[in-house]
Amino acid sequence: MKVIKSNVENIENEVVLLYKLTKGKKNKTASKLTDEELAQDYPVDVWLEYEDVNEKEDKPITLLSIMSGDTVIVAQSATLQRDFFEILDIVGDRNFTIRFTDGKSNAGRRFMSCELVGID
């Protein structure tokens, strides 16, 4: 696992937090969020972009972990990651809240995204 960037300075030194964001047993996968979970708003407390290895294919993958309270949601979706970082570009260092969304591509595949719902 290799840290790319985070809103927590020197997150590599925050061992428990780093574990929760990358290996926590209760972490949710964005693509498996229920309709109820998709309808919720998530204040973004901590986020982490990191590289890990896809064990099935033995290839590096980029993941985004978002912590909201005790909830950690991990996303591999390039669309979700792009939209999240576009939100960051707009809000800067301010605290903000997102909502996860999903949709269907032209090919009929489900994709994940997120949208800004508030600035705290």
Q: Of how many residues is the chain composed?
A: 120
- Provide the number of structural domains found in the chain: 1
Domain that holds residue 112: 2-119
- Does this model's pTM top 0.95? My answer is no
- The string of pLDDT tens digits covering residues 57-86 is 889 999 999 999 999 999 999 999 999 999
Task: State how far the Cα of 92 lies from the Cα of 13, in Å rounded to an integer.
Answer: 24
79-102 in b/e form (b: 16+ CB < 10 A) is bbbebbeeebeebeeeebbbebbb
Distance between CA atoms of 26 and 13, rounded to whole angstroms?
22
Q: What is the pLDDT of residues 41-52, one digit of tens each?
A: 999 999 999 999
